[in-house]
Amino acid sequence: MSSQVTAVVVCHDTGDYLTQTLQALSHQTRPADRVILVNTSGIPLGHSFGSTQTLELDSKTTLPEALAAATQTLISSDTHWLWILHDDSAPEPQCLAVLLETLETTALVGAIAPKQVDPEQPRVIRQLGLTLTPLGEPLSIVSGELDQSQHDTMSDVMAVSTAGLLVRTDIYEQLGGLSPKAPPLAADYDLSLRVRLAGLRVMVAPAARIRHAQLSLEGKRSRTWLGGSPKTAVRKAAVHLRLAFSPLWFALIYWMLLPLVTVARTFWRLFQKRPDRIPAELLGGLWGFFTVAARLSARAGNSRGIRAIRKSFDAPWSTVRAAGRSQADLEQQQELQQAFARGEHELEAANVGKSFTADRGWLWAALLLALSYANFPTAVAVVSNSVSPLADNWWQVFLRAGSSWQPIGQGFAGPADPFNWALLALSSLTPWAPSLSVGVLLFVAPALAFSGAWRTATLITPKTWIRTAFGLGYALWPWFIQARNDASLPTVIAAVTLPWLVFTIARAAGLGRSGSARSMRQTWSWVGVSGLLFALVGVSSPVLAATALIALAVVALTRIKRFGYLLWIGLPFSALYTPLAFNLMLTTANPLALLTEPGVPTSAAVTDPSGLLLPVHPLDFMQYGYAVFGLVALFALLTKRWVLASVMWAFALLVVAIAVVHWQTLFANPGGLGDLEWVAGSPSTLLIALGLVLLGLVAIAAEYAKPSLRMFIGLVVMLAAVAPMALSAATAARNYNFADDRVVPWLLEADAQIGKNVKVLLLDARSGEYSAKVLPVSGLQLEDNSIAYRYSLAELNRSDPAYKSMADLVAALVSANDDTLAESLTESHIAYVLVPSAASEGAADLINSLDSLTELSSAGSTEFGRLWRVTAPVDEALAEDKSPWSTTKLVQLSILVGFILLAVPTNGSRSRKSKTAEIFIENDGDNS
Amino acid sequence: MIRRILALIGVLGLLAAGVWASTLTLPKLYVGGLVDSNQIDVKPRDLALVCPGPVVRAGGASGTELGVLDRVGLAKVQGRFGSSVDSISGRQVGSEPTNLNGPSIGFDTSKPYVFVAADESGQMAQGSAMATASQLQLVNNARIKGLVGAACQKPSSEFWLVGGDTTTGRESLLLLTNPSKVDATVNLQVLSTEGELKISGLTAISVPHEDTVIIPISALAPKLSTFAVHVQSTGGALAGWLQQKAVRGTSAAGVDFIAPVADASKNLVIPGFLVRGVKDAAALKKANPDFADLTNVLRVTNPGDEPAEITAQVTGSDSKTFGTVLQATIEPRSTIDLDIKGLADGDYAIFIESSAKIFASAKLNRTNKTASVVTDFVWLPSVSAEAGSRVINVPAAGISKLAIANPTEKTVEYSINGGGLAANLKLAPGALVSLLVTGGAVSITASDAGLAATLIVDVDSTIAAIPMVEYRNLGGLISVVIR
């Protein structure tokens, strides 16, 4: 008995594809017995297509509804087949005939589908059956492969797409057609699995071919058709299949864990350098979590049957990996072709010079380490006016980063300094002794700066000597060496990071001689590194971050095609800085407060602006080598890159202008004593950035100069600039000491070690005023500095009752004439009183008072000042019920982890380089 | 190429504009605000004053008993208390206190004595107008001879004693009294011309509460002609003096209590340098080398880490007493003596300017060989200039002169009452005056610039000095900032 076929063409977009499909349908060697065209485009077709019956439906009609409308009048039988075609799926002339031939020779077939090929490249297979990964993800068994008949032996599959699907009408009716509860891309899985559960086979007929444009999956249809973007639709399909076709217990657990699974998959996508898929992951996860009732109601109910089907047809991991590689290669091919079209392949052939190792860069780095011999750490911690030790364990540093509760003063609810994240990163280098990392950094800082600057120079020149001079000039830049010798940690971190930041942004933006990242994954990797480095620079020097943002904006505007990537570079910094920015705006209502430098406030002498460009030691003439760089940089304006040089000079002058304004800004520091009550903005980081720009100009001048002039520039730079600066750096005095990492006397440290939760009152007497600070017995470490607290002190002293009562206690101690003093001390959990500036003027009376108190007993002079112990027993304070975790911290940490994953090179992104040429060979093959 | 040159000119123009702009004075931008300190009115602790007690004799009556340190005679203690003082108590150190009736109190004591003046309301400003006390003792025996005076001190945990001599025939004893209820541990630092002495026995000296400890500097650092002693205590606060004694051959030749000097400063003043018997001293020095130390000296200590360049101007009170100028550089952490020569008899004050903070005192000799040879000396401490109302007790014995100096740069108007005087006077900057006063309380009320004063007492050509010092405990309105 011959089969009867009714073809249903579901049309959602009218146009060429529909015409081609209908023409292809009419050219079948075995024509369909009846053709029904269902138009859901919302635009009436206006003309008839031969004997085709046309149904006009609303544009909101879904595929299941359209098919239901078309099959309403069909007579179901086991010899009557429904051939479902999409408007973008044109069957080749033999398609239906081959499908029916296959049916004649095969028993118990419920659904059969042809091989889907690319309409533009018919030799490329787009789909040949569907399956699931072991984790339940939808997977096209074959995709993007050249059709060399290698898959023509395939027959039974788990599922097939509805495009070109030939399904028996009786079983179709029995199963109720496509499930309206399933999301669009899961509906074909759903139908196929139910056909199989009904005891029939689902097959592919590789000899039957259909040219499927896959408009939906390529995002060429309106989003309403798939209920979102193609990626979101794929994810929704995966979630639906997991909930609908897994055992119930597993489905419920999966649903409960779906938020966590979504977060994990989000990070995984970052690691894959596919942040473009994150919205789909989030939307799909949320959709699945909140529509669980609909998913569960769509369950087939035959778990054992489903398990058996999956056991037979799930793709093995090898297939999953192969499919992943195939997909990645396909994407890479497309990206490389786009890069080729942009002409970026030419950079690969350009002379980019030797590598750092081949250039003997390590030799210069070692020389810089030798010049830093005086900075070699001889003890765990660095101690100076501008830096104090970190906590003695890494976890404590971690707790302070991003926290919203600070154990300073009377306890302070406010954002932690974003700089704490930089301290956390730094201390992670030596987690067993966090403070050691500071000393190590100060020692290796010039070498690190050299290697970073050397990398930056590769953007401009392939010549070894120019790169080396660039690197040495930066590593020996007077303000950088001074910051290192002053242990100005934020400045050093910003200075060491800055050249790397410039290099990575250039790579992400596709700027510079060393070429750009061509694949999306490589670009995202550079964006990840840039984001982290920008955050590091920004939290260390907000004023430099503001200046860098201007530069980044210029780069983004000139590389507008990369804007979508460059936009994300500022995200980690924004995440880290926004809480503090909000706090500062509320506290000070002054945007300049955002430029407050982190770390220990140090006084910077403010003189007239003419002193700005003089070194700290103006009589050290060896430091004036930087001026030679400035003079040589002018020659860059006479080279063929004069436009670039002009822009760089304009930026250099802008940097100086910002430095002047910052230098003239005085930031309140109510916790500071004497001269430190107002702290001037330090121009150091900006002057170091100026150095990088000037060195870039010098490199341009040297690179594009005539050979004879280039030699002259080389001699001048090395003899008149680098050599004197090296001599000056080698003989510069170190203004910090190495010590153990205690910040309190041993007596207190011992209490801290046993976890005693008591307080220390730090008392100072200056200029007729007494100032006091309450500390935990372990003292305050570097990570306890808080800009928010600094600006909140005025208000706290004015209105906080705890501060008022502490002031009363201090007055009682000073006057030594309060009968309730012991009570007040124990109530405040103060077990020690420390006068750090015992030798200062005005402290004598204070010490006399404290000495005269029977409530205190002198514990002698310590390296931290005069110490008294409270004689009465002091109860320990209850542990503060303040979680070190907060929403802010979680968000910040998530973004940082995300960017770290984005930055980490993956196999996929690393393998690109070696496969660069293969793409074009493949194309050649195709073209031939 | 023209465009490149134009770009170069443009950049050079901008650089020139920047150089010009750098000469401008730019306004400062201020971000945030400072803390308004909490003003807290607190009642100061009761004011305690400790008098050193009679002079100490080493070696017992015979002078040969090793380790024996005993007191000789009685010291005349005088106290004067303000009318608003609610109660006055006094005790010999180690004894129970007794209530005393003011405002003026005078008696003899055989031990260090402690006065405590209480102002229950806490409203009265502390200082000499509230409570002042001094002691005087004329000693005349075979081994100690001279007039000893001292202003009674408020105990402190740190002070400097600039003076003393441990060469042959000279004896320095450090008297430390702890009137508190807490034991004190003392560390001493001795700065000589050669720098800080590194000798044992200077640290961890225990001074029990309600007790006096006498430390023979002569034994710890013998044959030292020039030094200063830095006393630092932990625990109870101390009062301290350096008892300096001189013997020429077998004759006692003067004794004094060297009092703590004013805080280190770059500008110091030593009032009361009343030179007498210059000719007698010259004759004695010429006749007998034993009298060589009759030269007056200025002693300066530099406690800091940088050299101090000083200029000391010895200024006379009138045109007949032409002074002198001394200049020297003092190495860090060392002490030097500068001989003050060529002065005629007259009233002088010493004004010192220094490049670094220093301490200073001056040794003033008094010689008279009219009837028999009498020599005595006194170490005059530098004293701080104070404004407001101040009071000092003038002993009834001998001749007392209140030497007042104006170290400020403004003319100070002041009034003086008591001791036979009642006048409104003026003192020009850098000027001095010596006023003869009789027994009783003398008050000086100066304008805000402040005056420095020392009372010089002369009894039969022996001499003592009682510096006018303001002691006060912290109290009143206290500014506190919680950081």
A816 neighbourhood in chain B, CB within 8 Å: 45, 473-474
| Contact state of B4 with A678 under an 8 Å Cβ cutoff | no
Residue A349 — pLDDT band, cuts 50, 70, 90?
very low
Q: What is the mean pLDDT of residues A138-161?
A: 86
B158 neighbourhood in chain A, CB within 8 Å: 844, 847
Considering only CB atoms, B483 lies closest to which of A665, A773, A866, namely: A773
| Contact state of A770 with B482 under an 8 Å Cβ cutoff | no
Domain count, chain B: 1
Which tokens belong to A252?
């419920």
Measured in angstroms, the CA of B1 and the nearest CA of chain A are apart by: 7
Angle formed at CA A303 by CA A302 and CA A304, multiple of 5 degrees? 95
Q: Is the pTM of this model over 0.95?
A: no
Burial of A379 (0-12, 13-18, 19+ CB in 10 A): middle
- Fold held by A4-222: Spore Coat Polysaccharide Biosynthesis Protein SpsA; Chain A (3.90.550)
B185 neighbourhood in chain A, CB within 8 Å: 858, 860
What are the extents of the domains in chain A? 4-222, 746-870
* Contact status, residue B419 vs residue B438, Cβ threshold 8 Å: yes
Distance CA A125, CA A212 (A): 10
Burial of A280 (0-12, 13-18, 19+ CB in 10 A): buried
Please check whether residue B474 touches A, CB under 8 A. Answer: yes
* Contact status, residue A570 vs residue A527, Cβ threshold 8 Å: no
Which residue in this structure is represented by tokens 């514990």? A859
Q: In this structure, are strands A124-127 and A145-146 parallel, antiparallel, or unpaired?
A: antiparallel
Instruction: State yes or no: pLDDT of A917 exceeds 70.
Output: no
Please check whether residue B16 touches A, CB under 8 A. Answer: no
The pLDDT, as a whole number, for residue A270 is: 87
Instruction: State yes or no: pLDDT of B301 exceeds 90.
Output: yes
Residue A226 — pLDDT band, cuts 50, 70, 90?
confident
* Residue B19 in domain: no
**Range from A293-307, A820-834, A873-887, B390-404 carrying the lowest mean pLDDT:** A873-887
The pLDDT, as a whole number, for residue B296 is: 93
Distance CA A486, CA A498 (A): 19
Q: What would the pLDDT profile of A63-72 be if each residue is shown by its tens digit?
A: 888 888 888 8
Q: Calculate what percentage of chain A has a pLDDT beyond 90.
A: 32
Residues 309-328 of B with CB under 8 A from A: none
Q: Residue B424: which of B450, B449, B447 has the closest Cα?
A: B447
The pLDDT, as a whole number, for residue A608 is: 63
Q: What is the mean pLDDT of residues A61-83?
A: 86
Interface test with A, best of B11, B38, B238, B483 (most A CBs within 10 A): B483
| Contact state of B182 with A857 under an 8 Å Cβ cutoff | yes
Instruction: State yes or no: pLDDT of A329 exceeds 60.
Output: yes
Buried b (16+ CB within 10 A) or exposed e, A36-59: bbbbbbeeeeeeebeebebbebee
Q: What would the pLDDT profile of A784-836 be if each residue is shown by its tens digit?
A: 889 999 899 888 888 889 888 999 899 888 888 777 888 888 888 899 999 98
* Residue B22 in domain: no
| Contact state of B29 with A666 under an 8 Å Cβ cutoff | yes
A408 neighbourhood in chain B, CB within 8 Å: none
Residue/partner pairs of A855-858 with CB below 8 Å, 24 or more apart: A855/A821, A855/A822, A855/A825, A857/B182, A857/B235, A858/B182, A858/B185, A858/B234, A858/B235
Which tokens belong to B213?
């400890």
Comparing B372 with B411, the larger pLDDT belongs to B411
The pLDDT, as a whole number, for residue B129 is: 87
Residue A203 — pLDDT band, cuts 50, 70, 90?
very high
pLDDT, averaged across chain A: 85
- List, in order, residues 6 or more apart from B110 with CB less than 8 Å away: B53, B54, B71, B74, B75, B92
Determine if the peptide bond prior to B155 is cis (ω within 30°): no
Q: What would the pLDDT profile of B23-54 be if each residue is shown by its tens digit?
A: 777 788 888 888 888 888 888 888 899 999 99
Paired strand residues for B50 = B114, B153
A814 neighbourhood in chain B, CB within 8 Å: 42, 474, 478, 480
Instruction: State yes or no: pLDDT of A909 exceeds 70.
Output: no
Please check whether residue B66 touches A, CB under 8 A. Answer: no
Q: Residue A409: which of B115, B481, B177, B6 has the closest Cα?
A: B481
Helix (H, G, I), strand (E, B) or coil at A772: strand
Residue A59 — pLDDT band, cuts 50, 70, 90?
confident
Considering only CB atoms, B235 lies closest to which of A677, A810, A858, namely: A858
* Contact status, residue B303 vs residue B191, Cβ threshold 8 Å: yes
Considering only CB atoms, A848 lies closest to which of B37, B46, B156, namely: B156
The pLDDT, as a whole number, for residue A926 is: 36
* Contact status, residue A38 vs residue A70, Cβ threshold 8 Å: yes
Q: Calculate what percentage of chain B has a pLDDT beyond 90.
A: 57
Which tokens belong to A321?
């990996």
Q: What is the mean pLDDT of residues A670-675?
A: 72
- List, in order, residues 6 or more apart from A344 with CB less than 8 Å away: A510, A515, A516, A518
* Residue B104 in domain: yes
Q: What would the pLDDT profile of B455-482 be if each residue is shown by its tens digit?
A: 999 998 899 999 999 888 877 778 888 8
Please check whether residue B305 touches A, CB under 8 A. Answer: no
The pLDDT, as a whole number, for residue A137 is: 82
- List, in order, residues 6 or more apart from A264 with CB less than 8 Å away: none
The pLDDT, as a whole number, for residue B351 is: 96
Distance CA B139, CA B255 (A): 8
The pLDDT, as a whole number, for residue A923 is: 36
Instruction: State yes or no: pLDDT of A605 exceeds 60.
Output: no
* Residue B27 in domain: no
Report which DSSP code applies to A720: I
Please check whether residue B17 touches A, CB under 8 A. Answer: no
Q: Residue A758: which of A836, A826, A814, A853 has the closest Cα?
A: A826
* Residue B164 in domain: yes
Measured in angstroms, the CA of A707 and the nearest CA of chain B are apart by: 19
Interface test with B, best of A637, A665, A679 (most B CBs within 10 A): A637
Which tokens belong to A868?
């008294």
Report which DSSP code applies to A156: B
Which tokens belong to A878?
């209850």
Q: Residue B365: which of B458, B261, B275 has the closest Cα?
A: B275
The pLDDT, as a whole number, for residue A248 is: 85
Q: What number of other Cβ atoms are within 10 A of residue A318's Cβ?
A: 8
Q: What number of other Cβ atoms are within 10 A of residue A308's Cβ?
A: 13
Q: What would the pLDDT profile of B178-220 be if each residue is shown by its tens digit?
A: 998 888 899 999 999 999 999 888 999 999 999 999 999 989 9
Q: Residue A891: which of A585, A571, A595 has the closest Cα?
A: A571
The pLDDT, as a whole number, for residue A516 is: 53
Considering only CB atoms, B36 lies closest to which of A606, A797, A861, namely: A797
Q: What would the pLDDT profile of B391-411 be if each residue is shown by its tens digit?
A: 999 998 889 999 999 999 999
Q: In this structure, are strands A53-56 and A80-86 parallel, antiparallel, or unpaired?
A: unpaired
Instruction: State yes or no: pLDDT of A38 exceeds 60.
Output: yes
Buried b (16+ CB within 10 A) or exposed e, A155-177: bebbbbbbbbbbbbbbbbbebeb
Provide the CA A386 distance to its chain's centre, in angstroms: 31
Residue A256 — pLDDT band, cuts 50, 70, 90?
very high
| Contact state of A660 with B26 under an 8 Å Cβ cutoff | yes
For the CA atoms of B71, B76, B80, B85, the dihedral, rounded to the nearest 10 degrees, stands at 50
Residue B148 — pLDDT band, cuts 50, 70, 90?
very high
Q: Identify residue B442 by its one-letter amino acid code.
A: V
Q: What number of other Cβ atoms are within 10 A of residue B360's Cβ?
A: 28
Comparing A769 with B355, the larger pLDDT belongs to B355
* Residue B25 in domain: no
Residue A351 — pLDDT band, cuts 50, 70, 90?
low
Instruction: State yes or no: pLDDT of A928 exceeds 70.
Output: no
ipTM greater than 0.95, yes or no?
A: no
The pLDDT, as a whole number, for residue A547 is: 93
Q: Identify residue B432 by its one-letter amino acid code.
A: L
Distance CA A323, CA B270 (A): 98
Which tokens belong to A476?
């020996």
The pLDDT, as a whole number, for residue A880 is: 64
Q: What number of other Cβ atoms are within 10 A of residue B341's Cβ?
A: 11
Instruction: State yes or no: pLDDT of B223 exceeds 60.
Output: yes
Please check whether residue B61 touches A, CB under 8 A. Answer: no
The pLDDT, as a whole number, for residue B90 is: 93
Comparing A876 with B104, the larger pLDDT belongs to B104
Q: What is the mean pLDDT of residues B151-157?
A: 92
Report which DSSP code applies to A567: G
A847 neighbourhood in chain B, CB within 8 Å: 157-158
Number of H helices, E strands in chain A: 36, 23
